[in-house]
Amino acid sequence: MNKIAVVAFGGNALLRANEVGTIEEQEKNTLDTCEKLIAILDQGYELIITHGNGPQVGNILLRNEAGYKEFKIPKMPLDICVADSQGGIGYMIERQMRNALNKKNVSKNVVAVITQVLIDINDSAFENPTKPIGPYYIKEEAELLGKSNNWIFQEDPRKRGWRRVVPSPKPMEVMNNQVVRDLVDKGHIVIAAGGGGIPVYWHSDTRYLEAIEAVIDKDLASALLAKEVGAEKFYIITDVRKVCVNFNKPDQKELDHLTVAEAQKYYDAGEFPAGSMGPKILAAIQFVESGGKEAIITSEAELGKKNCGTRITL
């Protein structure tokens, strides 16, 4: 059986702070990150790459609105927008990964898989939508859009405007996980579960598969996929080189290693906020508790270095 490492690209692996998001910027950043993945291949691991889609799907939603206002082009639902982002980002990662492999004379196929993720339609998240998506609006625009589309809006905590919020249910199963595993076992690099996957559910009476307006956390979906394919290592790429306690305070401290129990203790104490490091810590805990050997949270610049990042184990 091949050793497998799952690498979850954070937004900074595709788009750096203070960049506008041109395709040239995103392709350069993606190539830089992909080149660092060669070190993981050199360690004898097969690769599965997952990725976020926040800025990209936000732009797709903006195009949705602009096309409808200007030309009456029918709006596409959120599941189609997520699928669009999976295709576009997956293509970009696939091409740049091939370029990185070619530079090192490594012969491997790379394939991107449009990925649906099963959720529970009775998840309590549907009673309290909290995940912001899309652009900012003034209050009057948000009220009008909310009434016409049956959307829910919340004011941004930093007072930048009003944003649509959708539920963020727990991922239950990454569909086609066995296909992903089969491809990896054949030595191919697979890109999957982009943006947390497209949330879908089965109707219990008809076994009819239906999409729903929601967003799944990318790190939790990646951890689930890593568990389902039997990965040994799970890398979460973010914008800091190590997990810190007392973050952004005078007594900030980087952590080289955490046990699952220590990570949970810090999380329960509020060290890792929900909108920042929290989901990454929970995903790392989930992966290790489900049988994974090691989860590593680190930055793109540190990826591939010996003992990089914060390592979480039993």
In the residue annotation, 69 being an active-site residue is answered as no
In the residue annotation, 11 being an active-site residue is answered as yes
In the residue annotation, 265 being an active-site residue is answered as no
Q: Which of 12, 29, 64, 177 is catalytic?
A: 12
Joined tokens for residue 112? 């991107």
* Residue type (1 letter), 305: K
Please choose, from the candidates 150, 186, 156, 193, the residue with its C-alpha nearest in 3D space to the C-alpha of residue 171: 193
In the residue annotation, 104 being an active-site residue is answered as no
In the residue annotation, 253 being an active-site residue is answered as no
The residue behind tokens 């699952």 is 260
Q: Which of 280, 292, 304, 309 is catalytic?
A: 280
Q: Which helix (H) or strand (E) holds 6?
A: strand 3-9
Query: Phi/psi of residue 117, each to 5°?
Result: -130, 130
Q: Which of 218, 227, 233, 242 is catalytic?
A: 218
d(CA 201, CA 217): 16
265 Cα distance to chain centroid: 24
Strand order in the sheet with 209-211: 171-174, 116-119, 198-202, 209-211
Q: Which helix (H) or strand (E) holds 154?
A: strand 152-155
The residue behind tokens 């996980």 is 177
Q: Which of 28, 75, 131, 293 is catalytic?
A: 131
Question: What are the beta bridge partners of residue 236?
Answer: 8, 297
Q: For residue 270, what is the DSSP state?
A: T
Please choose, from the candidates 106, 93, 111, 102, the residue with its C-alpha nearest in 3D space to the C-alpha of residue 189: 111
- Residues 6 or more apart whose Cβ sits within 8 Å of residue 60: 81, 84, 85
The residue behind tokens 């050199």 is 42
d(CA 63, CA 85): 13
Q: For residue 229, what is the DSSP state?
A: T
Catalytic residues: 11-12, 131, 218, 280
